[in-house]
Structure 1
Amino acid sequence: MKNWSIYIKDYKSYLKIERGLSDNSITNYLFDINRLVKYMDDNSIDVSPVYINEETIQQFIYHVATELNPRSRARLISGLKSFFSYIVFENYRKDNPLELIEVPKIGRKLPDTLSTAEIDALISAINLASNEGERNRAMLETLYSCGLRVSELIGLKISDLFFEEGFIKVTGKGNKQRFVPIDDLTQKYITIYKDGVRTFQNIQKGHEDTLFLNRRGKGLTRAMIFTIIKDLAKRIELNKIISPHTFRHSFATHLLENGADLRSIQLMLGHESITTTEIYMHLDRKFLRNIINTYHPRR
């Protein structure tokens, strides 16, 4: 293919250095670009990103549309549009060939949540007789009470704990850092694990500061957190499909229901835009009615 690898390499550097995106986010951005390149290769279309036209890209989108749901198609178009916006920005071409291609309307998917009783039941189902039990209790309490993403949880360091001040330092998307309040109970469970279990492990080189470790003394993976949560859900016969992110959604929803303002929730969750946080306003109609009844000037 004509120079695609050069443009993709430059775009990757732009995403990493100027946008500050994580490796995982960059991989997602590049996946659909490489998919377009493979389609062109399979169909003997030999044209560079500078000269590819809207018709060729539209044919590619039609080609993959049958395999994708509307949300995935929207992500595909958005990702390609971002790439060609970069090409325009660097003055390699004057127009974005996706400018007139419509993104499917997908609506806004409301996140699943757990009740406080369900969260208590999941945590109570942890077997504290094992060393992993103390770790898992500390992890799930932290996941929920601090509203962390799973990547933020497994990346948490001992040096990120500022218990005297009542905060932990969290490294979120794009390596952006924020301080999140941590309650006394969660501090207690972390301390029990850290001082009573972790300190006796054979910790592998490079993981001396990693807070939550596996049996081999290394950091945990995202998949391990998913497995722990799914096993607990089975144990209590919870009839919901849940993931680590469900704890984060529940944290935000419960804060909102108890009267926290959206700006505070945005800061704690590390959302770049308030519109991302606003999704929680759709979760509890009863809560919204109470707000109107309490604060409306003509109540």
Structure 2
Amino acid sequence: MTLEELEDILSEPTPAVISALDTLDGDFLILGAAGKMGPTLARMAKRAVGKSRRVIAVSRFSDATTRAALELAGVETIAADLLDVDALLTLPDVQNIVFMAGMKFGATGNEPLTWAMNSFLPGLVCQRFTTSRIAAFSTGNVYPLTPLHLGGSVETDAPNPVGEYAQSCLGRERIFQYFSQAYETPVSLLRLNYAVELRYGVLCDIAKKVWEGTRISVAMAAVNVIWQGDANAWALQSLAHVSSPASIFNLAGPEQLSVRRIAKQLGKHLGKEPNFEDEEATHALLSNGQKAHRTFGYPTVGIAQILEWTAEWIKNGGHTLGKPTKFEVRDGKF
């Protein structure tokens, strides 16, 4: 698979996405659009609505190639620091917003910026776009580690975040919830856990370690993953399911995957024997995605296919983003 083919797969809108966006009026604004998921989500939205409506991607765009690729795909771009209130005020009035801005990696040691991005910025956005629909990305890290046998946290479980990054993400949710009620702004909160594609994600991390002979910690005994294309699709579909008070969806795959087992499966594809360290703990960070599956449909790309693609990508020297997920972290320090 080439890079172009990968990005085409990740940005292909499903019939459900096209149908959902057809029910909505207005244009689309993607805030924080230059991250790992933003470019393919913006392209998916544009492919779904065609020339009939605008899709506008907003980011600092420190990488000019990302901005150029989006514009080539028909996505309008605006370079802006979202923490700059004046810049935020100049953004166009748009009916549909996907909020993707946030900070995770490097949060430890840079806690003030982490809280500003994850908790303060949502308030600025809510005050700027009081009448828009907002689909806001959150994280499964707002949940505590739970016993493996429970099958993952559900949306009605009480949050209990571990560490300042996760606490600031719960702060993000609380701010969106407050303004959703105060202004009757329709909002969906998307607790993602974890999006994967071939260039980054939990499976990419594990595959690289298998390929390089690096030890793999199994202390976090199990994980959930969801193909990034499906996560993109569900996020866009959630704009048709916003509400006040805010609705909440876990964006997670259907399987509770053993880290040891998927490392061994990747090892078979790669022709390598994985090396493990640590022992499986009885609790892990797990989300139950059944509500999202009922609402948005079942994932279109299954785990067996993702493992095969990931192994081939790593074996063939495919480009990776160099951003480890740190899925094995259990103390919340990212």
Q: Which has the higher helix share?
A: 1
Normalised by the size of structure 1, how large is the TM-score?
A: 0.23
> Which structure would you say has the larger Rg?
1
Normalised by the size of structure 2, how large is the TM-score?
A: 0.21
Q: Which has the higher strand share?
A: 2
Q: Work out which structure has the larger RCO, using CA pairs closer than 8 Å and 6 or more positions apart in sequence.
A: 2
